[in-house]
Chains A and B, each alone.
Chain A
Amino acid sequence: MARDLMNRRSDMTWQPSTELRRLQDEINSLFNFEGWDFAPGLFDRNMAPALDMVENADDFTVTVDLPGVNEKDVDLSVAENVLTIKGEKKGQTEDGDGNFFRKESWEGSFQRTVSLPQSVDADNVKAHMKDGVLTVTLPKREDAKPRKISVDVK
C-alpha cells in the first residue's frame, strides 16, 4: 500500500493536494446552491424573483434575473412609489416527455412588489430585457430631488 502510494507520487500524476483541492471545491459548492433565490413565502401563490435596486444620482435601477422569460410576458406597473413586476415564466421543458433526470428550474407566474425610497417619474420609466435580465430605470422626480441652494454670504 505504502509503496503503491509512493509509486503514484513518483509518476507525478496524482497528488494529495489535488484531492484536497477538489474536496474543498466540492464543499464550497454545497454552499453555492442557488435554488432558493426565487422561493416564495409560505402563503404566496407566485414566485418572487430576487432583485437588486441601485440608487443613482438621477434614477433608481431595478435589476431582476428572469432567465427564459420573454419580454412580452413581463408586466410592469408603477403606482405612487410602488413598483410591481409580474409575469409568466413559460416552461421550456414542456416538449420533453416528462423524463426528467433533474429539474431545478421553476416555471409559472411570478410577482414582486417593491416600494421605492422616494417618488419617481412614472411617465418616464424605462425597461429592457437582455440575456434574461430585466432592467428597469425609474427617474427621480424633479421636485423630489435634493436641490442645491446657493446662499451668498456677504
Chain B
Amino acid sequence: MATATRNRGQNQEVQRTRPTVRPVSSIWQDDGTVKLMIELPGVSRDSVDVRVENDTLTIRGEREIPEDAQFVIRERRLAPYERTYTLDDSIDRENIEAHMEHGVLTLTLHLRDAVKPRKIQIQGG
C-alpha cells in the first residue's frame, strides 16, 4: 500500500499513503459539549498529535513497534494511528481540551456561543 505520488512541480508536498491503524472512538454529547474518546494504546502523551485545520480534526499517534522480535503469537496490528473527523460549524475550533490517560485520549469540544440556545426574555406590561 506504500505508494508515492510524484510532485508535480508545484507547492504540493509529496504525500505517501502508509499503513495506519484507524483507532476506535466514541462520540457523545455531554452537558453542552461534545466529547470524543479515542483509544490509542501504546501512545504516550508526548507522541500524540491533535490538529485542527479548517474543518478537519486529525489525530495521529506514534507507538513503539518492535522490530526483529521473534513472535510466537502476533495478533495486534502495530502501525501508527491516524484518524480524521470533520467538524461542523457549531464547534468552536479555538476551544478544544484534550486529556490523555491509560492510552485513551479524550477531547472536549465546546460549541460556539452563537449556536447555543438562547433564552429570550419577553417584555410587556
Q: Which of B1-52 contact A (CB under 8 A)?
A: 1, 3, 5, 8, 10-12, 15, 17, 19-30, 34-35, 37, 39-44
Q: Please state if B21 and A102 are interface contacts (CB–CB under 8 Å).
A: no
Give the number of residue pairs across the A-B interface with Cβ within 8 Å: 138
Contact among B19, B23, B70, B77 with A55 in the assembled complex (CB-CB below 8 Å)? B70
Binding site for B on A (CB under 8 A): 12, 15, 17-18, 21, 24-25, 28-29, 32-35, 37, 50-56, 60, 63, 65-70, 92-93, 95-105, 114, 117, 129-133
On whether the beta carbons of A34 and B70 are closer than 8 Å, the reply is no
Beyond contacts A52-B75, A52-B76, A132-B42: 8 other A-B pairs, Cβ-Cβ < 8 A, are: A28-B19, A34-B23, A37-B77, A67-B40, A68-B102, A99-B28, A102-B25, A133-B41
* B interface size (C-beta, 8 A): 45
Across the interface, A96 reaches (CB within 8 A) one of B24, B29, B44, namely: B29
Does B41 lie within 8 Å of A66, measured CB to CB?
yes
Q: List 11 A-B contacts (CB under 8 A).
A: A21-B15, A24-B3, A28-B19, A32-B22, A50-B75, A55-B70, A67-B39, A93-B26, A131-B42, A131-B43, A132-B102
CB distance from A6 to the nearest CB of B (A): 16
